[in-house]
Amino acid sequence: MLIKTLVIAVVAIQLVSARPGVENNQDGDESMHEVRRIKRKIPGVSPDEENTAEFWRKKAQLILNDKLQTKENTNRAKNVILFLGDGMSIPTLAAARAYEGQKKGQTGEENYLSFEEFPYTGLSKTYCVDTQVADSACSATAYLCGIKANMGTIGVTGSVPYSECEPSKNESTHVTSIGRWSQLKNKRTGLVTTTRVTHASPSGVYASVADREWECDTDVKILGDDPKECNDIAYQLVNGETGKNLNVILGGGRGKFLPKTIVDEEGQKGKRSDGVNLIEDWLEQKSGVNAEYVWKRDDLLNLPEETDYVLGLFESSHCNYDMDRTKDDPSLAEMTEAAIKILQKGDDGFFLFVEGGRIDHAHHDTKAHKALDETVAFSDAIRRAKELTNSEDTLIVVTSDHAHTMSVNGYPTRGNDILGISGIADDQLPYSTLSYANGPGYRKEEDGKRHNISEDNMQDKEYKFPSLAPLSSETHGGDDVGIFATGPWAHLYRGVIEQNAIPHIMAYASCVGDGVTLCDQ
């Protein structure tokens, strides 16, 4: 009984001290009680235990001990894996770790995503040459090619304005990625994504274009340019110097490879106008080597042992969200595992790019539930990669390209459903813990009041979380994003760094590229 009283007292003090201004706000009193009455619903960490000093001191000492044991790894990085959570902002991490923890029956906040346990962390500044807030194209150019560029452009310098074919034809504006730098040192290379393999982020590995929308020849034409002058991204993936040499290409986007006259394995028509079948071209190019084209999960999981090259296109467009996967759709973790198994067969190591590409799409729709779920699937893929590799010789870097506008707000009680209601606002209507600064979740009632979310099914995976300003597609955010690293030279990922330094550090550790490397010393 005494303990219970103490607990209530402690919670009350925390509530008051955590809310400057609330105590002198008479109108706010009722809402405060409302919040306080929300009971701890989810069992997990014993509250009694957490209310002892001993519990927290022990936890802190374990963390301290762990930090003291961490030794800087100055080995040469034989292998490098770059994991990119598209649009995986820092609030997305806090919310996703609670989401995953709550699914495991815990209160959630104490949970760690797989990569949050990596020993080194830094922050990445994501602005581009011409914009404060990045898109996935200029940012891919930064974290893969090592330079900042204009929004919407990929693999070209800032001298190329967005969507201008002519200046982008000048090859001296083209830059290559750490994928190419690694190939030049005989490393195997690959890319894995849940988006179309021709989408902005993976394109950063192999393409140089003035416009991220130029995914196939039809797209270049629709946008008013000539695909013979400025080659489309899918064409570059199959015929470009970097694309041609990739051992692994896994993701969605079959449509961009096939002519309109062809219907693919899943009944979808191709998108190309030039009559070119790039899947056939790829197979023809690889006729002398062990290469496989696959379009469904079973075939990916049962690749012949000797496979050295794989092209896996699992959807006509983007891969399904992890929550919507069907039997023919591999998970991101499964694609990552298949990629690593092929890449590990090389003698000189490998570079692999893996994108959790649809965290971003879910956020654009303000479907926070899906965004968090995709983040957990991304975390699962990283855990798998960690299990399949050795941190003595493999540098794993996890980061994001840009933030989003979702915030984790209010004073919800410990263990409160992360997808639920945070409290009651001054208009006496409830507000959600997760909400967006803008987006399609904007809703206002006829009487001018905010929409009452009490009876909304916020657990529905398609639920659009509330947004302040109406926009058909929620925007990116300009905040810094995290960098999490483990393995050789992971300790260089610390402090606040420019996004374009990311591949330079990987290049240093793995002795590739034109900059200074470990092997020069």
Ligand X SMILES: *[C@@H]1O[C@H](CO)[C@@H](O)[C@H](O)[C@H]1NC(C)=O
Q: Compute the distance between CA of residue 155 and CA of residue 436 in angstroms, rounded to an integer.
A: 31
Instruction: Give 52 or 159: the residue with its C-beta nearer to ligand X.
Output: 159
Among ligand X, Zn ion, none, what does residue 283 contact (CB within 5–8 Å per kind)? none
What positions carry a catalytic annotation?
136
Q: Does 225 bind Zn ion (CB under 5 A)?
A: no
What is the CB neighbour count within 10 angstroms for residue 449? 11
Instruction: Give 184 or 429: the residue with its C-beta nearer to ligand X.
Output: 429
* CB 210 to ligand X: min, Å: 13
Note the residues at the interface with ligand X (CB under 6 A).
159, 170, 172-173, 428-429, 452, 454-455
Using Cβ positions, the residue closest to Zn ion within the complex turns out to be: 360
Contacts 24+ apart (CB under 8 A), 60-67: none
Instruction: Give 347 or 455: the residue with its C-beta nearer to ligand X.
Output: 455
DSSP 455-497: GS-TTSTT----EEEE-SSPPEE-S-EEEEEESTTGGG--EEE
| Residue matched to tokens 């001296």 | 172
Stretch binding Zn ion (CB under 5 A), from 100-108, 357-365, 432-440, 512-520: 357-365
Stretch binding Zn ion (CB under 5 A), from 48-56, 102-110, 359-367, 387-395: 359-367
* CB 429 to ligand X: min, Å: 5
Largest Cα–Cα distance in the chain?
80
In DSSP terms, 82 is beta-bridged to: 353, 397
Q: Does 217 bind Zn ion (CB under 5 A)?
A: no
* CB 136 to Zn ion: min, Å: 6
Among Zn ion, ligand X, none, what does residue 521 contact (CB within 5–8 Å per kind)? none
Q: Does 401 bind Zn ion (CB under 5 A)?
A: no
Integer angstrom CA distances of residue 445 from 433, 442, 450, 460, 466: 21, 10, 6, 21, 13
Integer angstrom CA distances of residue 197 from 182, 192, 336, 469: 20, 8, 14, 32
CB within 8 A of 206, min separation 6: which ones? Answer: 155, 177, 179, 180, 191, 236, 237, 240, 242, 243, 246
What is the CB neighbour count within 10 angstroms for residue 306? 10
Stretch binding Zn ion (CB under 5 A), from 89-97, 117-125, 352-360, 408-416: 352-360
Q: Does 355 bind Zn ion (CB under 5 A)?
A: no
Q: Does 360 bind Zn ion (CB under 5 A)?
A: yes
Q: If we measure between CA atoms, which residue out of 266, 437, 414, 423 comes closest to residue 366?
A: 437
* CB 52 to Zn ion: min, Å: 44
Instruction: Give the count of residues interacting with Zn ion (CB under 5 A).
Output: 1
* CB 438 to ligand X: min, Å: 24
Q: Does 474 bind Zn ion (CB under 5 A)?
A: no
Instruction: Give 24 or 172: the residue with its C-beta nearer to ligand X.
Output: 172
Instruction: Give 90 or 129: the residue with its C-beta nearer to ligand X.
Output: 129
Among ligand X, Zn ion, none, what does residue 173 contact (CB within 5–8 Å per kind)? ligand X
Could you tell me whether strands 481-486 and 120-125 are parallel, antiparallel, or unpaired per DSSP bridges?
antiparallel
Among ligand X, Zn ion, none, what does residue 452 contact (CB within 5–8 Å per kind)? ligand X
Burial 394-421 (b: 16+ CB within 10 A, else e): bbbbbbbbbbbbbbbebbbbbbbbbbbb
Instruction: Give 52 or 452: the residue with its C-beta nearer to ligand X.
Output: 452
Among Zn ion, ligand X, none, what does residue 360 contact (CB within 5–8 Å per kind)? Zn ion
Q: Cβ distance 95 to 372 under 8 Å?
A: yes
Q: Cβ distance 154 to 200 under 8 Å?
A: yes
- Residues of this chain that bind Zn ion (CB under 5 A): 360
